[in-house]
Chain A
Amino acid sequence: MTEKVYFDHNATTAIDKKVLEVMMPYLEMQQGNPTSQHSFGRHARTAIEEAREQVALAIHAHPAEVIFTSGGTEANNMIVHGAAIKNAQSTLVRSNIEHPCVSRPMEAMTQQGWHQDLLKVNHEGLISKEAYKNINANNIGLVSVMLANNETGAIQDMSNLSNFAKEKKALSHTDAVQAFGKIDVRFDEMYIDAMTLSSHKIYGPQGVGALILNKRSDIEPLIYGGGQEKNLRSGTENIAAIVGFGKACELISESMKVTAIRTRELQKTLEISLKELGAVIFSENVARLSNTTFFAFKDIEGSTLLTALDKKGFAVASGSACSSVNKEPSHVLLAMGIEEDLARSALRISFGNQNTIHEVKDFMETLKQELQTLKQLTAIAA
């Protein structure tokens, strides 16, 4: 365990010790149901409201705009479903590189009478202003564009999204799960209606996230019941996780800038070496998260290299963790017009706050050796 190197922080992160500390009382001691009126319940309620403030503060939103969910997936499903139901038969617009938890619920709605239109990214993974102009639909129920892509790390211009939404009088949403904690995310300055956050990507616990919803926006719930979270999300609150998420938000606000500078250094070192070995780096020349490098070596299969690296103690990914069950090439790369063979070779490295320059150098050493071995094998096979 100690010798292993974790380069997969876009999949999930280890919980911060300080986060765990604030969670422990809620895991170990008698706790009430936050809806209960006795002191146990009231104590739980206070803890949740404090966490709500911490989340709001980190993204410059009002606490009343924070709706806790079971994670990013639920928040994304909630906004898609909730906005669609409010606007029957409307068109749902998204980029063609969204996470499946935005694209799949939209596709599900198309089977029930809604329409879907796609904003297409260019070769660098960005949505240009022109792409927005290609959307002709007028009755738009929701437009959703992710802030930073989980695979390439490319960062979209939110002003394009907000201008488009304003012009079309549509509800706008961004999935900020990967961007939050890595770049400054200010909800009050983006002029969009809704935003998705996740805790376990920012050193908080798994199983909790939030939908940030502008107070003026009105959507239908996805989960009905006891009426928690202002009737928008029923179910007994996951107190320990919510408290942990709040603390993680507070900590990430403090450490983000330093971490970003550090990971940028690692990224530079890594990418110089990768290119020396002949790697292609995706979204290389656009605004991109400082911790994410998505790259490929032509003719070297990603999954083979990945397994070899894991054996040597380096945890990397071949794309998003959620889809690593299937062996399809990255849908993001295909959307960017990358040819299928090269897409199949893609590997993702995502740094976190504990990674060091030594780990990067060790990694490059190992990678060189593994590449050589694989090339020899390929030569023999050929």
Chain B
Amino acid sequence: MTQDIARKPIYLDYSSTTPIDPRVAEKMIPFITEHFGNPASRSHSFGWTAEKGVEEAREEVAKLVNADPREIVWTSGATESNNLAIKGASHFYSAKGKHILTVATEHKCVIDSFRELEREGYTATYLEPEPNGLVDLEKFKKAIRPDTVLASVMFVNNEIGVIQDIEALGNICREQKVIFHVDAAQATGKVNIDLEKLPVDLMSFSAHKTYGPKGIGALYVRRKPRIRIEAQMHGGGHERGMRSGTLATHQIVGMGEAFRIARVEMQLENERIRKLRDKLLHGLQDMEEVYVNGDLKQRIPHNLNISFNYVEGESLIMAVKDIAVSSGSACTSASLEPSYVLRALGRSDELAHSSIRFSIGRYTTEADVDFTIQLLKEKIQKLRDLSPLWDMFKDGIDISKVEWAAH
């Protein structure tokens, strides 16, 4: 533990979670210490001050995505938002039908919400994306059936950072009268989101991926045309009955400030981050047998996901301890299964295993990137020197054709 503190690794895992921006923390503290009232307490000023903080934050969240504050429902995070949107809308509109549609590369909490609905008797389609990670519009259109009630597609993929064509997908849903939900947890502060123009009915947000606190998120629920959802959490009737439970005022205030900063600084920050990412990409691409996962153009500048061929995944992670990165999504990284996202792109188990997701953020410096390039080059070389597979590859043997003897 002391060693961890003495030499902190370089943090390149911003898609997993971000630190709280100091400006956000500053705004949160008074709501922990002074304005601690319950925002639902209508009878005294402690409650009113808290309520005011909550409503101002709601406006900030709405502003970032050009929505009406009344369309923003607070939740405990994007996982809850996704659960609420998918199960809540599918239940409410179940009279239309019981078919639901999503993409195989969605976040675990979308997939698992779909699985739960399947247990309840719904039929689900998990559309395979193209090898670049993007959804083919024609295939999406064909997957919609007369009884399709809801489709869910994430804005930006958490592992490979590709940006889906939400407008086109939304238009298809509108034509077919399908409720369209978008998980935008990885998109806020990284891509422009204009809900006045986008044909999206429900959209999930998270604070801790955008320099806000953990434990708070929001669901956008369109008012015109009005979308209804069945509550998943019942109680005091907070959030117009869509989500009960005492609101964590300081967390909400933090999310508001984080989204305000994102709105103001997004453009400049993206430019700076793009330069760092491109530098990292060019630095790593010098090596042999490296593969970028996911489309490079239709992608947020923050993400670089690379597979290093002929390197064993676990030893790779151990070898690059001086940088904090992910192999696959953090939420499933406790398991040794290769990333299901990369598998869905058609990557082999080996390439999926030997992938690293670098995610760059607000506090990444050029020196961090230089260090990372150097570290990777050195370690990959070392690991390959130890690898019999690398030797075989160098000798010109096609490993996929080798028939291994059983032990």
Within 8 A of A (CB), among B227-280: 231-238, 244-251
Residue from A33, A108, A240 within 8 A of B330 (CB atoms): A33
Q: What is the chain B residue whose CB lies nearest that of A44?
A: B17
Q: What is the chain B residue whose CB lies nearest that of A318?
A: B43
Residue from B4, B115, B215, B247 within 8 A of A208 (CB atoms): B215
Inter-chain contact B83/A13, CB cutoff 8 Å: no
Inter-chain contact A30/B331, CB cutoff 8 Å: no
Q: What is the chain A residue whose CB lies nearest that of B314?
A: A37
Inter-chain contact B43/A324, CB cutoff 8 Å: yes
Q: Is A225 an interface residue (CB 8 A)?
A: yes
Inter-chain contact A222/B333, CB cutoff 8 Å: no
Shortest distance in angstroms between B13's beta carbon and chain A's nearest beta carbon? 6
Q: Is B9 an interface residue (CB 8 A)?
A: yes
Inter-chain contact B235/A101, CB cutoff 8 Å: yes
Shortest distance in angstroms between B43's beta carbon and chain A's nearest beta carbon? 5
Inter-chain contact B232/A226, CB cutoff 8 Å: no
Residue from A8, A108, A198, A227 within 8 A of B44 (CB atoms): A8
Inter-chain contact A205/B113, CB cutoff 8 Å: no
Most chain B Cβ neighbours within 10 Å, of A108, A198, A307, A322: A322
Most chain B Cβ neighbours within 10 Å, of A29, A200, A224, A316: A224
Q: What is the chain A residue whose CB lies nearest that of B80?
A: A223
Inter-chain contact A306/B43, CB cutoff 8 Å: yes
Q: Is B406 an interface residue (CB 8 A)?
A: no
Inter-chain contact B235/A325, CB cutoff 8 Å: no
Residue from A37, A318, A320 within 8 A of B317 (CB atoms): A37
Q: What is the chain A residue whose CB lies nearest that of B76?
A: A70
B residues near A101, Cβ cutoff 8 Å: 233-236, 244-245
Within 8 A of B (CB), among A62-87: 69-74, 76-77
A residues near B16, Cβ cutoff 8 Å: 32-33, 35-36, 41
Within 8 A of B (CB), among A312-362: 314-318, 320-326
Q: Is B216 an interface residue (CB 8 A)?
A: yes
Q: Is A249 an interface residue (CB 8 A)?
A: no
Tell me the complex Cα distance, A310–B49, Å: 13
B residues near A314, Cβ cutoff 8 Å: 44
- Which of A118-126, A230-238, A293-301 participates in binding chain B? A230-238
Inter-chain contact A325/B237, CB cutoff 8 Å: yes
Q: Is B297 an interface residue (CB 8 A)?
A: no
Q: Is B42 an interface residue (CB 8 A)?
A: yes
Inter-chain contact A20/B32, CB cutoff 8 Å: yes
1/0 per residue A6-22: CB within 8 Å of B? 10100111110100100
Inter-chain contact B251/A241, CB cutoff 8 Å: yes
B residues near A20, Cβ cutoff 8 Å: 29, 32-33
Tell me the complex Cα distance, A316–B40, Å: 13
1/0 per residue B202-239: CB within 8 Å of A? 00001010000111100000000000000111111110
Inter-chain contact A29/B116, CB cutoff 8 Å: no
Known: A77-B232, A324-B41. A28 touches B20 (CB 8 A): yes
Inter-chain contact B46/A315, CB cutoff 8 Å: yes
Interface residues on B, range: 35 or more
Q: Is B355 an interface residue (CB 8 A)?
A: no
Known: A224-B83, A240-B213. A100 touches B246 (CB 8 A): no
Known: A76-B235, A224-B116, A236-B79. A104 touches B247 (CB 8 A): no
1/0 per residue B62-86: CB within 8 Å of A? 0000000000000011111011000
Q: What is the chain A residue whose CB lies nearest that of B363?
A: A30
Q: Is B96 an interface residue (CB 8 A)?
A: no
Inter-chain contact A322/B235, CB cutoff 8 Å: yes
1/0 per residue B104-133: CB within 8 Å of A? 000111001101100000000000000000
Inter-chain contact B20/A27, CB cutoff 8 Å: yes
A residues near B286, Cβ cutoff 8 Å: none
Interface SS of chain B: helix, strand, loop or mixed?
Answer: loop
Q: What is the chain B residue whose CB lies nearest that of A69?
A: B76
Q: Is B97 an interface residue (CB 8 A)?
A: no
Q: Is A139 an interface residue (CB 8 A)?
A: no
Tell me the complex Cα distance, A104–B230, Å: 13
1/0 per residue B8-50: CB within 8 Å of A? 1101010011011010010011001110111011111111000
1/0 per residue A104-133: CB within 8 Å of B? 110110000000000000000000000000
Known: A37-B317, A207-B215. A100 touches B40 (CB 8 A): no
Tell me the complex Cα distance, A306–B107, Å: 48
Known: A1-B34, A226-B331. A322 touches B112 (CB 8 A): no
Inter-chain contact B234/A70, CB cutoff 8 Å: no
Shortest distance in angstroms between A267's beta carbon and chain B's nearest beta carbon? 20
Tell me the complex Cα distance, A321–B51, Å: 12
Tell me the complex Cα distance, A222–B245, Å: 14
A residues near B325, Cβ cutoff 8 Å: 38
Most chain B Cβ neighbours within 10 Å, of A1, A27, A74: A27
Q: Is A4 an interface residue (CB 8 A)?
A: yes
Tell me the complex Cα distance, A238–B326, Å: 20
B residues near A28, Cβ cutoff 8 Å: 20, 22, 25
Known: A33-B16, A208-B215, A224-B115. A73 touches B331 (CB 8 A): no
Residue from B33, B34, B41, B208 within 8 A of A321 (CB atoms): B41
Inter-chain contact B9/A40, CB cutoff 8 Å: yes
Inter-chain contact B43/A307, CB cutoff 8 Å: yes
Shortest distance in angstroms between B42's beta carbon and chain A's nearest beta carbon? 5
Residue from A35, A72, A307 within 8 A of B333 (CB atoms): A35
Inter-chain contact B109/A224, CB cutoff 8 Å: yes
Q: Is B405 an interface residue (CB 8 A)?
A: no
A residues near B329, Cβ cutoff 8 Å: 226
Q: What is the chain A residue whose CB lies nearest that of B32?
A: A15
Known: A35-B330, A101-B235, A307-B43. A241 touches B248 (CB 8 A): yes
> Apart from A99-B235, A236-B208, A324-B40, what 15 extra A-B contacts exist at CB < 8 Å?
A4-B45, A12-B246, A36-B324, A38-B9, A38-B13, A69-B76, A73-B233, A100-B234, A224-B112, A226-B332, A234-B109, A237-B214, A318-B43, A321-B40, A324-B41
Give the A-binding residues of B (Cβ under 8 A).
1, 4, 8-9, 11, 13, 16-17, 19-20, 22, 25, 28-29, 32-34, 36-38, 40-47, 76-80, 82-83, 107-109, 112-113, 115-116, 206, 208, 213-216, 231-238, 244-251, 317, 321, 324-327, 329-334, 363
12 sampled A-B residue pairs with Cβ under 8 A? A15-B33, A31-B17, A31-B19, A36-B330, A70-B215, A71-B248, A73-B245, A107-B234, A205-B250, A206-B249, A235-B77, A306-B43
The 4 closest A-B pairs by CB, nearest first: A238-B215, A207-B248, A322-B236, A225-B109
